[in-house]
Chains A and B, each alone.
Chain A
């Protein structure tokens, strides 16, 4: 099989999973799932809307995510929060990519909820969980509080998030604790993953905790018990305009004339992903 065929196979698979959701009946919940809602979820994955970063979320959905992550990791005296760190950008790109489309994930029917010990059993990709979940949370907020989540006061938003976390809001076929769990997991990822994925902007997350980024050699430092390790922050993509000696660059890729520092490029290219089964997800930009 040529790589081109493999790309198509991967994309077709994601669509198939969506189609199966709309066609088949599932043994979870009683709520009816509208096929247009779900097909919309699949189509969005390939849309880039002229932006450098791949996008999945519709504007209203993006507002929800932005508002939610701002409460989950707020900006405060300790430093930037999730919004300043670009976590909403990160989540959007992840949902448009292989993660959001459940590439490589076993999505065979029949679906049964089962016991907690048996793990995730919903017939939805992560992108579909976001699409359905956001719609249902906004419906809930509008019905009970008069406006969508993003327009609520911070205290109201916190209360909704706690209720989601505790499984107390009815989101139809998605247990609200599962929706919250996915949102919080992705928020942490976006705050703490390498900046090449669009979050952790200006090393906001790593500055908070005191992690200087992936480095290669601590042989001389590991015995300095109890001492601070003070080096510039680095990413797999290089360094932001933090003053740094060339020798500090883990990649050695970002060199400029007489350069004492280097910039991370505005657009970060990520390599094509060859999965362990040999399927290929195309390269792209963040």
Chain B
């Protein structure tokens, strides 16, 4: 029998980036907020100290900083007519467990989406005609515009201490920045990071082939910084252990380094760790969320009543929780009805390795130390005759030179033996790679539902992912990879290895942890689970955060938009608390 606990104003499922933003904003407005985290407590000291965090085997290879599949994983297949099998080992993407969520182990590659990204269907139909969008491509506008979100992007960037160079302030193009970006109100809070050898070479080569390189916006601080909440951050020292590690130096923006020092002092905030939320409860009419059920480490069940429920877990988990709680209509690809699980998307990324003539010392790096060209992202170029819509950026990220996983050897290198050893000896210090970071449209048969066979630790059916790449993305990716190869050729080199991603999506090799959709936002309750304020259409006191609300995935890393949307939704929640009504009437 589950024990019933005293009611709180707001219960947050998960305690990562979005939960930290919502908690900070709503506690300021006076609400009593509780976060439930299935992982453990962790903080810069002692958990991310340099004495042990720079351990590639333990964290990046053995994955001790991520969720364990034993407790919760998903079943995967490429097509609806296939048998889905459980993802037994993590690979393609790496969800977190623990306070701070993936905000602890991300690289800090922090982007705004393009204004046209938010209008992807209407803009592309207008420019290229309705026929440019295949019948099974289920993309939709977001229901908000870049201009509406801009103040919240700004708020997020000043929270995180983003290092970068503006390309467009108030409509005026700025030299040195990204000329394709949407207008921003002011400069980034910090100047760009110092460049390393490889990013200098990329910048020169990209200019030579007529492109517009700029320093990537980084949630790694280029200088000491006091953020918008008064929290002190330290200057990044380029230790090269960002992605898949916590930051020892208070330099990479994370909940721990930006929000928690303020939030945890508040009497109207509390959190519990090792508490897995297994159900969202609703009233008998299904019109109101009444709280959540969670299970603690001992397997004891609790009912946590709340006036408002906010799903702040990883994208998959938000959708899984809705499905097992029987909230909303599950998506059915046959009839194309239902919304929960609809429009799952990801990224299509590819790589070009370059072995340079110049010594690079790749181990001096930072997660978001990169030069980028955005000439081929979104609708920054004319797609007429190209055979696809959308795009992505090409970047040279110098995230580090960690020896086990970060080798970019030339084409034709033997896979093992003396030849491999020789190549490693000659090329490790000279090799780097470019990433083509492509967006992903949504499709009728790319979706999430419940698996009929496998169950998680709590007896719930696993989430089932049906997902593959489509022609539009393959054409886009080839286009990007070809352009990246042109840049590589302009770098003085000893070898280039272009690696376009071909064939079916595979759950095995790491690609990105940019899983999106399944609880899409939008203007139409028939195709979206939440309204443009991230409030459930059906249950006005239930809200969904994170990339699970993306209706499709633009060609950027998602965290910047996830953060901006959390601030945007928090403002809406404050209005809702004053007047508890649906913010959009149907």
Residues of A whose CB lies within 8 Å of any CB of B are 1, 13, 71-74, 76, 78, 81, 98-99, 103-108, 110, 112, 114-121, 158, 161, 165, 184, 187-189, 192-194, 196-197, 205-206, 208-212, 214-219, 221-229, 236, 250-251, 253, 271, 273-278
Bound CA span A229–B240, Å: 15
Bound CA span A187–B274, Å: 35
Asked if A276 and B86 make an inter-chain contact with CB atoms under 8 angstroms apart, the answer reads no
Bound CA span A106–B87, Å: 8
Q: Could you say which residues of chain A place their CB within 8 Å of the CB of B416?
A: 72-73, 161, 184, 187
Asked if B62 and A99 make an inter-chain contact with CB atoms under 8 angstroms apart, the answer reads yes
Residues of B whose CB lies within 8 Å of any CB of A are 39-40, 50-52, 54-57, 61-62, 64-71, 73, 76-78, 82-83, 85-89, 91, 96-98, 194-197, 200, 235, 237-241, 248-249, 274, 297-298, 358-359, 361, 363-364, 401, 403-404, 415-418, 420-422, 424-425, 428-429, 453-455, 457, 504-508
Bound CA span A217–B87, Å: 38
Asked if A119 and B508 make an inter-chain contact with CB atoms under 8 angstroms apart, the answer reads yes
Q: Could you say which residues of chain A place their CB within 8 Å of the CB of B197?
A: 225-226
Q: Could you say which residues of chain A place their CB within 8 Å of the CB of B297?
A: 1, 278
| Chain B residue nearest to A97 in the complex (CB) | B62
Contact among B86, B238, B429 for A222, CB-based, below 8 A: B238
- List 5 A-B pairs, Cβ < 8 Å: A104-B70, A119-B507, A218-B364, A227-B361, A277-B274
Asked if B507 and A78 make an inter-chain contact with CB atoms under 8 angstroms apart, the answer reads no
Contact among A116, A197, A251 for B508, CB-based, below 8 A: A116
| Chain B residue nearest to A112 in the complex (CB) | B85
Asked if A218 and B237 make an inter-chain contact with CB atoms under 8 angstroms apart, the answer reads yes
Contact among B50, B51, B76, B359 for A226, CB-based, below 8 A: B359
Asked if A1 and B403 make an inter-chain contact with CB atoms under 8 angstroms apart, the answer reads no
Q: When A158-B417, A214-B54, A274-B40 are in contact, do A120 and B89 touch as well, CB less than 8 Å?
A: yes
CB distance from A274 to the nearest CB of B (A): 7
Asked if B238 and A105 make an inter-chain contact with CB atoms under 8 angstroms apart, the answer reads no
Asked if B421 and A107 make an inter-chain contact with CB atoms under 8 angstroms apart, the answer reads no
| Chain B residue nearest to A190 in the complex (CB) | B57
Asked if B506 and A120 make an inter-chain contact with CB atoms under 8 angstroms apart, the answer reads no
Asked if B404 and A226 make an inter-chain contact with CB atoms under 8 angstroms apart, the answer reads no
Q: When A119-B87, A217-B239, A276-B40 are in contact, do A253 and B417 touch as well, CB less than 8 Å?
A: no
Bound CA span A219–B237, Å: 5
Bound CA span A212–B364, Å: 11
Bound CA span A44–B6, Å: 49
CB distance from B36 to the nearest CB of A (A): 14
CB distance from A198 to the nearest CB of B (A): 11
Asked if A219 and B238 make an inter-chain contact with CB atoms under 8 angstroms apart, the answer reads yes
Q: Could you say which residues of chain A place their CB within 8 Å of the CB of B425?
A: 78, 208-209
Asked if A114 and B70 make an inter-chain contact with CB atoms under 8 angstroms apart, the answer reads no
Asked if B86 and A236 make an inter-chain contact with CB atoms under 8 angstroms apart, the answer reads no
Q: When A106-B69, A236-B52 are in contact, do A197 and B57 touch as well, CB less than 8 Å?
A: yes
Asked if A276 and B70 make an inter-chain contact with CB atoms under 8 angstroms apart, the answer reads no
Q: Could you say which residues of chain A place their CB within 8 Å of the CB of B420?
A: 73
| Chain B residue nearest to A188 in the complex (CB) | B404
Bound CA span A108–B69, Å: 10
Asked if B89 and A74 make an inter-chain contact with CB atoms under 8 angstroms apart, the answer reads no
Q: Could you say which residues of chain A place their CB within 8 Å of the CB of B418?
A: 74, 76
Q: Could you say which residues of chain B place their CB within 8 Å of the CB of A107?
A: 70, 88
**Among the interface residues A193, A194, A221, A222, which one has the most CB atoms of the partner chain B within 10 A?**
A222
